[in-house]
């Protein structure tokens, strides 16, 4: 479980807020999607959860423990983090990249090798073909799969994903979205997923949190948001995609 209580973040000593009075509870095994345009506070919220950024005010708990009372490095090793830039180490092979956190945690060579092989197969990168490759020998979609495998390597209970598929072409993006849906069902991780893509949010989220200028516009299931938008902003946000879908269906 992840809990945020009255969490705010200001980068200018309170003159403005990237996130303002955010309270929410993410249940074990739930996928919560943070949806909104650039600058709305999505990534700031994600980074506060694993203490890449400390909140200006409020309390954040991960697994029932206040994160400010935990060593930030130890906290981050419990939380998988996948982001758009991927961040693979170019001088390491695919297998070495996936094994990075288990190696830092002191796992044996045999155990971390078995784990990396398991995960590479899980994300659709057969070990025999990909384990010994370097990142620059992979496509963007393949690199992102390695990033997901690396985030899962130490079997964290929590997975933070910051627009992980945003830089990919449409076909790669759709393929990875569908694979993440399958992984969700199989692994039952608690996932916080950031996106500005409405269709991605509807596909992946058990619930969706809509942010605008650092404020919560609405949080709810897909059905709740589509059938009963809480604000004019939410209604307008989902109106255009609905028209686009209707127009596409009309063409077909």
Q: What is the CATH number of the domain that holds 12?
A: 3.40.50.300
Stated pTM of the model: 0.87
In angstroms, the first-to-last Cα distance of the chain is 43
> Does residue 228 sit within a domain?
yes
Please, what sign has the CA dihedral across residues 84, 100, 143, 117? negative
Query: Would the pLDDT of 10 be above 70?
Result: yes
* pLDDT for residue 67: 93
Distance of alpha carbon 110 from the chain centroid: 29
pLDDT at 252 over 50: no
**Mean pLDDT throughout 18-32?**
93
Mean pLDDT of 156-181: 83
Q: Is there a domain that residue 107 lies in?
A: no
**In a domain? residue 245:** yes
Does residue 31 sit within a domain? yes
Is 98 part of a structural domain of the chain? no
The whole-number pLDDT of residue 251 equals 46
Arithmetic mean of pLDDT over the chain: 88
**190: in domain:** no
- Domains of the chain: total: 1
Spatial distance between the Cα atoms of 8 and 5, rounded to a whole number of angstroms: 9
| Interval 210-226 mean pLDDT | 92
Range of the domain at 18: 1-73+198-252
**Is 181 in contact with 204 (CB distance < 8 Å)?**
yes
- Per-residue pLDDT, 245: 60
Task: Give the pairing type, strands 65-66 and 2-9.
Answer: unpaired
**230 is a domain residue:** yes
């Amino acid at each position: 479980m992840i809990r945020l209580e009255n969490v705010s973040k200001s980068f200018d000593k309170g003159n403005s807020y990237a996130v303002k009075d955010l309270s929410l509870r993410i249940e074990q095994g739930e996928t919560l999607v943070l949806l909104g345009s650039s600058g709305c506070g999505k990534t700031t919220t994600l980074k506060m959860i694993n203490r890449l950024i400390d909140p200006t005010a409020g309390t954040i708990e991960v697994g029932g423990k206040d994160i400010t009372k935990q060593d930030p490095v130890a906290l981050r090793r419990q939380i998988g983090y996948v982001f758009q830039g991927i961040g693979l180490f170019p001088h390491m092979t695919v297998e070495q990249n996936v094994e990075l956190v288990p190696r830092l945690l002191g796992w044996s060579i045999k155990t971390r090798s078995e784990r990396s092989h398991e995960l590479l197969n899980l994300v659709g990168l057969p070990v025999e073909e990909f384990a010994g490759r370097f990142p620059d020998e992979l496509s963007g979609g393949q690199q992102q799969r390695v990033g997901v495998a690396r985030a899962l390597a130490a079997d964290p209970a929590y997975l933070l994903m910051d627009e992980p598929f945003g830089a990919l072409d449409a076909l790669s993006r759709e393929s990875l979205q569908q694979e993440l849906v399958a992984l969700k069902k199989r692994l039952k991780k608690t996932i916080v997923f950031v996106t500005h893509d409405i269709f991605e949010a509807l596909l992946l989220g058990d619930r969706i949190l809509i942010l605008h200028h650092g404020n919560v516009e609405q949080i709810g299931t897909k059905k709740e948001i589509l059938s009963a938008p809480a604000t004019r902003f939410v209604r307008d946000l989902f109106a255009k995609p609905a028209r686009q879908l209707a127009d596409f269906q009309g063409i077909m």
